[in-house]
Structure 1
């Protein structure tokens, strides 16, 4: 934990507001952001599903705003809701989005959110269409092609005829993903990253996609020939990194295709330089969370996901001066200096409720993550913290409550070694 003194001098008059749309109460990233800024004296507020979520009970939370949304509501309704919360806070606050819906809404309504009677919210000023484009699998692939950044070979079928043509020429297996990030909460074509092993399977699955399939089809990067890397960073208005970190994903849930369950900080100057140059080329500002797969067959890092927001596992990364990406954003937006410092190489991050089933699934598959240190230099748990215990016990209560499907889904998925659904 970083101290409040020394180089880390936040503006404690400017609170932070966790902005999330959708029903996912067990979100450790929001809890991590509340703790990160709360520990250095920044007042923290959060949008929550109710007053009994892990985020809502954190000792570092000044106030919760229960507001159930799906992320598919009319943007005007969501903007007005944010403004209503801003009026209740009564002063400017730094917006910290935890999902693509929130990040895109903020970017596309900067004037309404930045100019208000209470002084306006604070957020990185980014080209308004860019967050939506990088969050889109098709949009990201097009940007990679335009700026010479490697990504998996991708097809974007617009009709059933396109799928049939792809099925007759593609090399299987392939991976299907929803074309747009927002589809996962509206009417997703696939439940997540879905491996398809044959043309016959593709045709059968595609029957449910309608005449205008909302998917992209990508080459499959075999896990025995690949390494999963992550980059988290914060970029200023000139797209220059004020904080940039690299690490290796050891396990994810669902296996090989979901959120980080276990990861290590690993220095990778080559990857850091690649990511910084790509962000500079496209002109992005703010926090990023990148997922990349290093393909040992051709020696290239291939960009899988560009999340224009903080990642749930952002607390994996902290510099020797106490900076993570959320602290960097708050300091920068409030006119403070962001202290430089090396990342804590060898540090690891564990998400307790999903790492155990992930461990079982990975051991069944025999996969071992390259570059993971033999011994961690330190460990941060997503939920359990000695100075803030309530979120951990609240997570357990919701995770284990009667009627909850979490444990069954985890058991079923670990048995099959594939994502739920």
Structure 2
């Protein structure tokens, strides 16, 4: 991990607040709670956009104020920009923007000049975050820069899907081509594994004249490992903080949100990620999902989130720096302390890891790089110094959450499609 000062604990600028920016209805988001706690524990005043006054984020003791603003993520950009500017005026001083979804990250990038007065954020090519968040855009960038990714097709009609099905090796994976369709009318719900030609053609009949999907080769979990890279880069695309880890379990199984993961040193993967970021000229926080394909020995880039990932608190260095702290320190002119990552540290998302554990035991899947014993554990929801978000999560999760988990479990048992939940 790169930085500027070795072994010195991070000293944040307490005069510059942070604002969690989220668009859409997903109140049980542990990443936002983690960011509020991370900077709040350093004395940074924290603000957040929330769906209502009773979300876990709104209940954190480290939150100065919640701005209740229900959105879908599909509003006109001008409306969202004006809403952010209105919040900025209410905060009354420049604040660091911390987006938790692609809609927010892309909006900030594409309206940098409008937001630059009341807010601080990494400056980036305005078109780049949208391209990275797009499955097609990311695939094209990987091809352009020689980064491995699954073989993919982008059909423009049902006839092209039929032609693909005649030649494809099944199972295949279908994903929405663009980042924002999940809040509108998605062709598929997240990542969908399709077992047969007939299954693909049946699903495709509901995708309309312009399918809006990417069809990808399936990387069999028996021959693959799921890896994570979280990092923060400066204006020159040099790493301020860079971490690698392995995903042990996700929910839904094998294709969804991280439920259990470990910090694992992987210099090869860190170098691959740093070189790719330098080539494309990105600055700010990234969250990458890669799958190591044992059949050809390549790390294949599956997803590029141009923002903080929900599980970012897995990663922290010996000086107490995570990617959110690194960004705040850098944007406020503070040094970013160096330090080794906490190898062997574990991250657990309490409300989804138990069902994930049961599903993985049934499948027999194991992660060879996960350590036999954790050097420490970070819980996504519970914290002794901030217990209310955990209790609020339980109150909101128990009935609808249990029903949702049951539905996903039935889907995975049928063996038809595996649905990814947004990170």
TM range (shorter): over 0.9
Between the aligned partners of 2:199 and 2:407, the Cα distance in structure 1 is 22
Structure 1 residue 9 displacement after superposition: 1.1
2:93: which partner in 1? 91
Cα contact 2:345–2:377 (8 A) shared by 1: yes
Between the aligned partners of 1:370 and 1:65, the Cα distance in structure 2 is 44
Between the aligned partners of 2:373 and 2:19, the Cα distance in structure 1 is 36
TM-score between the two structures when normalised by the length of structure 2: 0.96
Higher relative contact order (CA 8 A, sep 6+): 2
2:404: which partner in 1? 409
Cα contact 2:193–2:418 (8 A) shared by 1: no
Alignment of 1:1-400 (within 5 A): 6-115=8-117, 120-400=118-398
- Structure 2: gaps (5+ residues): 1-6
SS at match of 2:66: strand
Between the aligned partners of 2:50 and 2:102, the Cα distance in structure 1 is 16
SS at match of 2:261: strand
Aligned residues: 410
Cα contact 2:244–2:263 (8 A) shared by 1: yes
Cα contact 2:88–2:94 (8 A) shared by 1: yes
SS at match of 2:120: coil
Between the aligned partners of 1:114 and 1:138, the Cα distance in structure 2 is 29
Q: Hey, which bits of structure 1, 4+ residues long, moved more than 3 A?
A: 418-421
Cα contact 1:357–1:411 (8 A) shared by 2: no
Structure 1 residue 279 displacement after superposition: 0.5
When structure 1 is superposed on structure 2, of 163-172 and 82-91 the one drifting more is: 163-172
TM-score between the two structures when normalised by the length of structure 1: 0.96
Between the aligned partners of 2:342 and 2:100, the Cα distance in structure 1 is 24
RMSD of aligned residue pairs (Cα, Å): 1.1
Structure 1 residue 315 displacement after superposition: 0.0
Structure 1 residue 6 displacement after superposition: 4.8
Between the aligned partners of 1:341 and 1:217, the Cα distance in structure 2 is 41
Cα contact 2:256–2:419 (8 A) shared by 1: no
Structure 1 residue 7 displacement after superposition: 3.2
2:4: which partner in 1? none
- Structure 1: gaps (5+ residues): none
Between the aligned partners of 1:257 and 1:44, the Cα distance in structure 2 is 32
Shift in CA distance, 126/420, structure 1 to aligned 2, threshold 3 Å: closer
* Structure 1 residues 349-375: Cα deviation after superposition (integer angstroms, max 9, x where no partner): 000000011111111111111200000
Between the aligned partners of 1:260 and 1:315, the Cα distance in structure 2 is 12
Cα contact 1:360–1:414 (8 A) shared by 2: no
Cα contact 1:159–1:213 (8 A) shared by 2: yes
Between the aligned partners of 2:367 and 2:80, the Cα distance in structure 1 is 41
Cα contact 1:137–1:178 (8 A) shared by 2: yes
When structure 1 is superposed on structure 2, of 66-75 and 360-369 the one drifting more is: 360-369
Between the aligned partners of 1:416 and 1:365, the Cα distance in structure 2 is 14
Structure 1 residue 223 displacement after superposition: 0.1
Cα contact 1:358–1:414 (8 A) shared by 2: no
Structure 1 residue 409 displacement after superposition: 2.1
